[in-house]
Amino acid sequence: MIQTAVQDPLAEKILGGEISDGAHIKVDAGSDRLLFSLSAAALRDVA
């Protein structure tokens, strides 16, 4: 359960290009879902 709850959304973000190589990701428990916070280096420059 926990592995799927973390792995699936994280995989989608990686495959979608939202997370760069070497990113640090913090996972917190929200009231009804897991919340992912990315370090500044993890965010891609889309400009």
The CA-based angle 36-37-40, given to 5 degrees, is 145
Q: Give the other-Cβ count within 10 Å of 19's Cβ.
A: 21
Question: 36, 26 in Cβ contact below 8 A?
Answer: yes
All domains in the chain, ordered by first residue: 2-42 (1.10.8.60)
- With a cut of 50, say whether residue 47 has pLDDT above it: no
Question: 38, 23 in Cβ contact below 8 A?
Answer: yes
**pLDDT tens figures, 8-30:** 888 888 889 888 777 888 888 88
**pLDDT tens figures, 28-38:** 888 988 888 87
Band (1; pLDDT cuts 50, 70, 90): low
pLDDT of residue 6: 79
